[in-house]
Homo-oligomer: A and B are copies of this chain.
Amino acid sequence: MAGEPDGGRASAATRRRGAVLEQAILDAAAEELKESGYSGLTMDRVARRAGTNKNAIYRRWPSRAALAVAAYGRMTVTEARVPDTGELRGDALELLRAANRHLSSPLGRILLDLLASARDDPDLLAEIQARTGGDGLTGMWLTVLGRAVARGEAAPEALHPRVATVPIALLRNELLTRGVTGVPDEVLVEIIDEVYLPLVRGRGPR
């Protein structure tokens, strides 16, 4: 256990305590998740990587899944950027492509695995939802849709969270059944052209 001075403190404590140790554990878990995914995550390796032992981990998190969720929550990148192509189709495709890239990444895979393993645990599920900022995504789609309504590209009635997030839901459904390869772009285009645009514009005479 190499001496690691407490940041800024004069004393040379040899043992990390409290929040400092917790941070080290979460960092280690995050690294392990990135490298091996959820299924490859082991408590032994997290402990080793954090330079501690399992006791310290289990004192804070009741299970492997709980630790993984906590670590995952620190990994989510907020690269949210609302596109502005000047038209709804362009904006929607950009958003959907970004979501596809994200959900097809190792991070997206981790999320799906966490959702699967937390299925019996409402508290853990709730925590996953809270940490993945699901609502942030809804906000972006509503922004884009709001602009489209203002431009007359979409009907005002379409401004509804469940409507706004249909493409994301369809994307998730595709990922559920496809595996790790990501969703082909043609499918994304189809989702937007065959479902989303007709939905928000009104199907019929186009």
Residues of A within 8 A of B (CB): 109, 112-113, 115-122, 125, 129, 134, 155, 157-158, 160, 162-163, 166, 168-170, 172-173, 176-181, 190-191, 194-195, 198-204, 206
Report which residue of A115, A117, A169 has the largest number of chain B beta carbons within 10 angstroms of its beta carbon: A169
- Could you tell me the distance in whole angstroms from the C-beta of A34 to the nearest C-beta in chain B? 16
Instruction: Tell whether, in the assembled complex, residue A204 and residue B125 are in contact, meaning their CB atoms are under 8 Å apart.
Output: no
Chain B residues lying within 8 Å of A163, measured Cβ to Cβ, are: 194-195, 198
Chain copies in complex? 2
Chain B residues lying within 8 Å of A115, measured Cβ to Cβ, are: 176-177
Instruction: Tell whether, in the assembled complex, residue A195 and residue B162 are in contact, meaning their CB atoms are under 8 Å apart.
Output: yes
Query: A112-B119, A118-B179 given as contacts; is B162 within 8 A of A173 (CB)?
Result: no
Smallest CB-CB A-B distances: 7 pairs: A116-B116, A202-B204, A169-B173, A202-B202, A202-B203, A199-B199, A155-B204
- Could you tell me the distance in whole angstroms from the C-beta of A7 to the nearest C-beta in chain B? 38
Could you list 5 examples of A-B contacts with CB < 8 Å? Answer: A125-B179, A157-B206, A169-B169, A173-B173, A199-B203
Instruction: Tell whether, in the assembled complex, residue B125 and residue A177 are in contact, meaning their CB atoms are under 8 Å apart.
Output: yes
Docked CA distance A172–B166 (Å): 12
- Could you tell me the distance in whole angstroms from the C-beta of A40 to the nearest C-beta in chain B? 11
Q: Which residue of B lies closest to A200 (CB)?
A: B203
